[in-house]
């Protein structure tokens, strides 16, 4: 039994992926019920791909706002636009703006289809573990588990109970955001960003005629957020936004940059915000957690079902922690760029960096990096593509969350690994054979012979 603590996107995606691999799962959460506020709102192409693999994407793209560009303004004047939704050879779908609550609802429905329901009102208060398993102390009683996955956010009780450090630094002391239902003379396929000196204001279109406003505002109490953001909208963008009942949500937070010292301690593993937190600039948070979920799930499924030794779990941190480090560095840099820490840096931002960002080569590089489809676990930049660890686009979002074998004679080769991996999807591929992991990355390539594949899988599973 695997117990997932936390019913946010990361926890729900992890549970779905484990169930799809035949693992018994419980999901517990200390909240009394599902969240209704939007919180995170950016679903990058990689995040959509993960949901599609899990069978949880549904009609979310049709109910979301597809973002095609980021419009930049300096000192009240339009500076240019960054076309982030432009299709490239790598990225074929747009980024989506949609409430995190909607993403969670889709994942909960999928998990229910797989026979699991979230156990609300079950907050973790302690944890004991040995080499055989773990026991969680919760407000609803004791919960036994073979493995525990902490997906319970930045203040993770699981991480604290396991004694895993979470070092880092604050980046911005006070940030406010709020959602308001209002008609604005702004394009609904664009994010607007306004900077003036050390001030910043941004507007994000959400479904249902709602707009999300965000701005730095140290010391602002949550009750004063609508008034502050209404004034910022008028001052920076010339927008008339009344302060009244049309404000559906407001929040005040500090931006931190933190990374767990380790992603595993014994029978406890961490994923999502429990393992890393960073600036919301760039919309990477929810998507990085979804990437953690699928990478951990296929590994733990093999270990939990006795098909692999637990050394396979070492690859989870080896692959995902560097991704988090890169996201932390990139989002911190973007935060510093947009906010401008000094007058010289703001001058460089306004006169040099913003104009450069809107050039076609920079647009493409920024968009492909933000999409997270460039993520690769290959150990070397050299070698024939796809390399071991590369995402294999052809098989990355087709047929569900499972293994794929592509070979000239796929039926013969698939039979050689069925006992080790379970049912394997088969596809035709000329020349060599490709074994693609459930998360869409290449596990092995070689001669399309059963014996070669059998030995490769045994090495992969540490058997």
Domain CATH for 302: 3.50.50.60
Q: How far is 60 from 206, CA to CA, in rounded Å? A: 13
Return d(Cα 433, Cα 408) in angstroms, integer: 7
The count of domains in the chain is 2
Please check whether residues 153 and 50 belong to one and the same domain: yes
Question: What's the pLDDT at 161?
Answer: 97
Shared domain for 317 and 397, answered yes or no, is: no
Whether residue 266 lies inside any domain: the answer is: yes
Residue showing tokens 């308001």: 180
* pLDDT for 436: 95
The Cα-based distances of 445 to 38, 117, 307, 384 in angstroms read 42, 38, 21, 10
450 C-beta neighbours (distance < 10 Å), count: 17
pLDDT of residue 305: 94
Asked if residue 59 and residue 145 are part of one domain, the reply reads yes
Report the phi/psi class of residue 119: left, alpha or beta, with left for phi > 0 and alpha for psi in -120 to 50. Answer: beta
Does residue 357 form part of some domain?
no
In this structure, are 304 and 441 located in the same domain? no
Of 371, 406, 436, the residue that ends a domain is 371
Residue 129 within any structural domain of the chain: yes
Cβ-based neighbour number of residue 115 at 10 Å: 9
Contact indicator for 30, 124 with CB cutoff of 8 Å: yes
Q: What is the pLDDT of residue 311?
A: 94
| pTM: predicted TM-score of the whole model, two decimal places | 0.95
pLDDT, position 463: 65
- Asked if residue 32 and residue 107 are part of one domain, the reply reads yes
**Which helix (H) or strand (E) segment is 11 a member of?**
helix 9-20
Same domain, 443 and 367: no
Residues 430 and 367 in one domain: no
**pLDDT recorded at residue 170:** 77
Q: Report yes or no on 305 lying in a domain.
A: yes
Residue 407 lies in a domain: yes
Nearest CA-CA partner of 349 in 367, 370, 335: 335
d(CA 134, CA 275): 19
Per-residue pLDDT of the chain (463 residues; tens, 9 = 90+): 999 999 999 999 999 999 999 999 999 999 999 987 767 888 999 999 999 999 999 999 999 999 999 999 999 899 999 988 888 989 988 899 998 999 999 999 999 999 999 999 999 999 999 999 999 999 999 999 999 999 999 999 999 999 999 998 877 668 899 999 999 999 999 999 999 988 899 999 999 999 999 998 888 999 999 999 999 999 999 999 999 889 989 998 888 889 999 999 999 999 999 999 988 877 788 999 999 999 999 999 999 999 999 999 999 999 999 999 999 888 887 877 777 777 888 888 888 888 988 899 999 998 999 899 999 999 888 888 899 999 999 888 666 899 999 988 888 888 888 888 988 998 888 878 999 999 999 999 998 888 989 999 999 887 6
Q: Are residues 135 and 283 in the same domain?
A: yes
Domain span at residue 415? Answer: 393-460
Tell me, yes or no, whether 330 lies in a domain.
Answer: no
Domain CATH number, residue 424: 3.40.30.120
247-259 and 442-446 strand pairing: unpaired
Helix (H, G, I), strand (E, B) or coil at 429: coil
Helix-, strand-, coil-residue percentages of the chain, each rounded to 5: 35, 25, 35
Residues 116 and 24 in one domain: yes
Residue 47's CB: how many other CB atoms inside 10 A? 27
Pair 290, 417 in one domain: no
Instruction: Determine the pLDDT at residue 318.
Output: 97
Domain membership flag for residue 438? yes
Residue 87 falls inside a structural domain: no
Query: Residues near 173 by Cβ (< 8 Å), separated by ≥ 6?
Result: 218, 254
Interhelix angle 9-20/45-54, nearest 10 degrees: 40
Do 45 and 129 fall into the same domain? yes
> Residue for token digits 């767990």?
260
Residues 162 and 290 in one domain: yes
């Amino acid at each position: 039994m695997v117990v997932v603590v936390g019913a946010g996107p990361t926890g729900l995606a992890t549970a779905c992926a484990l169930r799809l691999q035949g693992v018994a799962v419980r999901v517990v959460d200390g909240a009394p019920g599902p969240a209704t506020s939007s919180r995170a709102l950016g679903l990058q192409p990689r995040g959509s791909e993960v949901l599609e693999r899990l069978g949880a994407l549904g009609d979310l793209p049709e109910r979301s706002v597809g973002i095609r560009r980021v419009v930049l303004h300096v000192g009240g004047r339009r500076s240019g636009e960054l076309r982030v939704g432009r299709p490239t050879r790598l990225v074929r779908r747009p980024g989506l703006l949609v409430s995190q609550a909607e993403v969670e609802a889709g994942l909960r429905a999928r998990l229910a289809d797989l026979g699991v329901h979230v156990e609300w009102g079950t907050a973790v208060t302690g944890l004991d573990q040995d080499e055989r398993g773990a026991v969680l102390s919760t407000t609803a009683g004791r919960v036994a588990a073979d493995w525990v996955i902490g997906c319970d956010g930045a203040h993770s009780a699981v991480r604290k109970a396991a004694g895993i450090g979470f070092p880092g630094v604050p980046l911005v002391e006070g940030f406010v955001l709020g959602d308001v239902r209002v008609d604005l003379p702004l394009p609904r396929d664009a994010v607007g960003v306004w900077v003036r000196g050390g001030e910043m204001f941004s507007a994000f279109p959400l479904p249902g005629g709602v707009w999300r406003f965000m701005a730095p505002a140290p010391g602002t109490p949550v009750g004063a957020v609508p008034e502050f953001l209404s004034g910022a909208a008028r001052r920076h963008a010339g927008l008339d936004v009344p302060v009244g009942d049309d404000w559906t949500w407001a929040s005040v937070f500090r931006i931190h940059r933190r990374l767990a010292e380790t992603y595993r301690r014994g029978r406890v593993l961490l994923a999502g915000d429990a393992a890393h937190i960073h600036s919301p600039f760039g919309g990477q948070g929810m998507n990085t957690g979804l990437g953690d979920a699928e990478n951990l799930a296929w590994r733990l499924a093999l270990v939990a079902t006795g098909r692999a030794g637990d050394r396979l779990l070492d690859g989870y941190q080896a692959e995902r922690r560097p991704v988090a480090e890169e996201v932390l560095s990139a989002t911190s840099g973007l935060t510093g760029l947009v906010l401008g820490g000094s007058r010289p840096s703001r001058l460089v931002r306004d006169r040099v960096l913003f104009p450069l960002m809107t050039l076609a080569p920079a647009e493409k590089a920024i968009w492909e990096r933000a999409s997270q489809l460039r993520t690769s676990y290959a150990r070397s930049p050299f070698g024939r593509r796809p390399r071991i660890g590369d995402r294999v686009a052809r098989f990355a979002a087709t047929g569900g969350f499972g293994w794929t074998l592509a070979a000239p004679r796929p039926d013969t080769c698939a039979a050689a690994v069925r006992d080790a991996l379970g049912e394997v999807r088969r596809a035709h591929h000329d020349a060599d054979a490709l074994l693609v992991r459930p998360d869409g990355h290449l596990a092995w390539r070689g001669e399309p012979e059963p014996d070669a594949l059998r030995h490769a899988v045994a090495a992969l599973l540490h058997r």
